[in-house]
């Protein structure tokens, strides 16, 4: 199985290099790793110990952010290295002030793992949610460097719990401690003989619960909304956008703010075909007062604003539910905004919870979206949903405090 794993790593990298000239994200994945070790050797002081945080992408960074913030606040002398697997995380957070150095994770080979750890000289490694790399974990174990997994969550259909999943169970057993999002994950780990796990919760709650308190006003959005009821659609994909176009054609009194997952010019032009009269945020200063007043749709063609946009919404639509899976629902829920999304939500505990509590709705087509939207026009129903969503977030904060207590008690920091 080890040979198959190594072959898979090799083939994956080769395929990305093959398609890189024709695929923007693949190109970033490949180019971001060129000369990486030379850059590390020039920029990182190997004589110093570092805390290494690794994230798959942007969503996982948000889960680790609160822990990094607490470490930097309480122990400013600690040096932090951050790595990303995906360009969508690295490109947005490569300049984060929370880290002393940010880079891509070199491919998971035995040689890369040894060389990378030689350079960063970790005193502690913290991974998030579901990134499990055999060679990196093996090398950390060999060096007796503690490895923590935070916001971990498991499902019965994962390879770890299959009869033929022995190799992958072996990777899990290299982790020093798991901080899980739910008790089911603790029980599943015990079922395969792993007892070094405890419930902490999802660290994302600790960040999103502060968003309403630290909300940044956006003058252009306030001018566009102008006191009208607004639907904020975040991280949308083409399938979502077609549903939204059909909905808004029947809701002339509502405004729509749409922040697509992909903001390259080709996708923005596709959106402008769906919404010909839409305004672009990047061009907002060029529009007349009359154009702004008459516009129903505002396209957000930048990155990093979404968590502030939900403040302006009465209802939120979260994209991804007709593709690989929905995006972040918590950033909307924390503002007390009812949430709507597609049917690919089962792997996201917070979405399942919000549905059960009445703070969210799942829809499968345009007619279902219209029906839910109409139901939420009732003030009593919308107020109940808003309160359910807000309470769900506010009552689940605290994971970061549990993790920090462990780090301090075990003398892993400071």
Q: How much is the pLDDT for 304?
A: 82
Q: Known catalytic residue: 262?
A: no
pLDDT at position 59: 87
What's the mean pLDDT in 168-173?
A: 97
Mean pLDDT of 23-51: 95
Angle at 25 between CA 24 and CA 26, to 5 degrees: 95
| Rounded mean pLDDT, 71-94 | 96
Residue 88 pLDDT > 90, yes or no? no
pLDDT at 310: 98
* Mean pLDDT along residues 59-76: 96
The architecture of the domain spanning 32-209+397-409 is: 3-Layer(aba) Sandwich (3.40)
Predicted pLDDT at 1 = 86
**Mean pLDDT (whole number) for 240-256:** 97
Residue pLDDT, tens place only, 90-109: 999 999 999 999 999 999 99
The predicted pLDDT at position 402 comes to 98
Mean model confidence pLDDT for the chain: 96
Q: Looking at residue 130, what is its pLDDT?
A: 86
Per-residue confidence band for 230, with pLDDT thresholds at 50, 70 and 90: very high
Catalytic residue among 41, 60, 356, 410: 60
Domains 32-209+397-409 and 219-394 in one fold: yes
Provide mean pLDDT across the span 9-35: 95
Residue 303 has pLDDT above 90, yes or no: no
Fold of 219-394: Rossmann fold (3.40.50)
- Express each pLDDT in 178-190 by its tens digit: 999 999 999 999 9
Mean pLDDT score, 127-131: 92
pLDDT of residue 296: 98
Residue 414 above 90 pLDDT?
no
Q: Where are the domains of the chain?
A: 32-209+397-409, 219-394
Tell me what pLDDT residue 357 has: 97
Q: Three-state secondary structure along the chain? A: CHHHHHHHHHHHHHHHHHHHHHCHHHHHHHHCCCCHHHHHHHHCCCCCCEEEEEECCHHHHHHHHHHHHHHHHHCCCCCEEEEECCHHHHHHHCCCCCCCEEEECCCCCHHHHHHHHHHHCEEEEEEECCCCCHHHHHHHHHCCCEEEEEEECCCCCCHHHCCCCHHHHHHHCCCCEEEECCHHHHHHHHHCCCCCEEECCCCHHHHHCCCCCCCCCCHHHHHHHCCCCEEEEEEECHHHHHHHHHHHCCCCCCEEEEEECCCCHHHHHHHHHHCCCCEEHHHHHHCCHHHHHHCCEEECCCCCCHHHHHHHCCEEEECCCCCCCCCCCHHHHCCCCCEEECCCCCCCHHHHHHHHHCCEEECCCHHHHHHHHHHCCCHHHHHHHHHHHHHHHHCCCCHHHHHHHHHHHCCCCC
């Amino acid at each position: 199985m080890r040979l198959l794993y190594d072959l898979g790593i090799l083939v994956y990298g080769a395929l990305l290099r093959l398609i890189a000239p024709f695929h923007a994200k693949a190109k970033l994945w490949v180019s971001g790793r060129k000369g990486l070790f030379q850059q590390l050797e020039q920029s990182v002081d190997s004589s110093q110990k570092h805390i290494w945080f690794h994230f798959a992408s942007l969503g996982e960074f948000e889960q680790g952010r609160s822990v990094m913030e607490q470490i930097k606040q309480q122990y400013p002398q600690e040096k932090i290295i951050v790595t990303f697997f995906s360009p969508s995380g690295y490109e947005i957070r490569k300049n984060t002030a929370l880290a002393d150095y940010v880079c891509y994770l070199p491919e998971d080979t035995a040689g890369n793992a040894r060389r990378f750890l030689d350079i960063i000289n970790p005193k502690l490694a913290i991974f998030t949610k579901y990134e499990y790399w055999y060679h990196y974990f093996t090398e950390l174990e060999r060096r007796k460097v503690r490895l923590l997994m935070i916001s971990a969550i498991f499902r019965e259909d994962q390879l770890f719990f299959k009869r033929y999943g022995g190799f992958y169970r072996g990777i899990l057993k290299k982790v020093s401690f798991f901080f899980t999002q739910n008790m089911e994950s603790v029980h599943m780990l015990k079922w395969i003989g792993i007892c070094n796990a405890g419930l902490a919760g999802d660290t994302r709650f600790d960040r999103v619960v502060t968003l309403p308190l630290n909300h940044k006003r956006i003058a252009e959005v306030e001018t566009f909304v102008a006191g009208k009821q607004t639907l904020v659609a975040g991280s949308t994909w083409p399938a979502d956008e077609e549903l939204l176009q059909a909905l808004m054609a029947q809701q002339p009194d509502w405004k729509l703010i749409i922040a697509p997952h992909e903001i390259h010019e080709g996708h923005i032009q596709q959106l402008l075909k769906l919404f010909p009269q839409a305004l672009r945020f990047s061009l907002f200063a060029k529009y007349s007062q009359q154009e702004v007043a008459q516009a129903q749709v505002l396209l957000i063609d930048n990155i990093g604003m979404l968590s502030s946009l939900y403040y302006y919404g009465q209802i939120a639509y979260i994209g991804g539910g007709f593709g690989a899976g929905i995006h972040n629902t918590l950033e909307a829920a924390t503002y007390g905004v009812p949430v709507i999304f597609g049917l690919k939500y089962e792997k996201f505990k917070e979405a399942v919870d919000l549905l059960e509590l009445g703070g969210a709705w799942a829809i499968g087509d345009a007619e279902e979206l219209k029906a839910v939207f109409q139901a939420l026009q009732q003030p009593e129903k919308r107020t109940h949903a808003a309160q359910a969503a807000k309470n769900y977030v506010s009552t689940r904060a605290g994971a970061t405090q549990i993790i920090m207590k462990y780090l301090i008690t075990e003398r892993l920091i400071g």
